[in-house]
Amino acid sequence: MKCLIFLVLLWVNTVYAIDAKQFTDQKQQADYESLTSELRCLVCQNQTIADSNAELAADLRRQVYEMLQQGQTREKIIAFMTARYGDFVLYKPPFKIKTSVLWLGPIVFLSIGLLMVFWLIRTKAQKKVEDEQEHGHQEKLVKIRRLLNEEEERS
């Protein structure tokens, strides 16, 4: 029974999630699908307009659909959206001075991390060599003492 309910819920999800738009042209269909999954729904900010059920997302989907039907290009549609909602509407923001931290931040953090790892490995390795040297030194000292003691005892 539980399994059945689960299956029904799964089905409901797929049926009502998105109002699927059909194109006769394959390329337009592909463009529609990629565009709607790249544009952000501004009401529910962590969803794309393809995922969201918000009214605004439906309006934006309709807009994308109509513009594609009119034969407009991807670039034109993206320009249309950013002119109204700003770069925020894009899940993949363009590289600008304002967004440089966003783009370069991960690289900077990764290099800091790598540098730290190298530095740690090097200091650890150096310490090991020093420890060994110290250890060898100690052994020699013990041997010298023993020899000296033996000498004293003999005399």
Chain contacts with other proteins (rule: CB under 8 A): 42-43, 45, 55-56, 59-60, 63, 82-86, 88
CB of 54 closer than 8 Å to CB of 17: no
CB of 56 to other proteins, least distance (A): 6
C-alpha–C-alpha distance, residues 44 and 79, integer Å = 21
Residue (86 or 106) nearer to other proteins, CB = 86
Residue (62 or 137) nearer to other proteins, CB = 62
Burial 74-95 (b: 16+ CB within 10 A, else e): eeebbeebbeeeeeebeeebee
Q: Which residues, in sequence order, are bridge partners of residue 90?
A: 39
CB of 139 to other proteins, least distance (A): 32
CB of 43 to other proteins, least distance (A): 6
Residue (18 or 42) nearer to other proteins, CB = 42
CB of 97 to other proteins, least distance (A): 15
Helix 74-85 × helix 26-36 angle, to 10°: 30
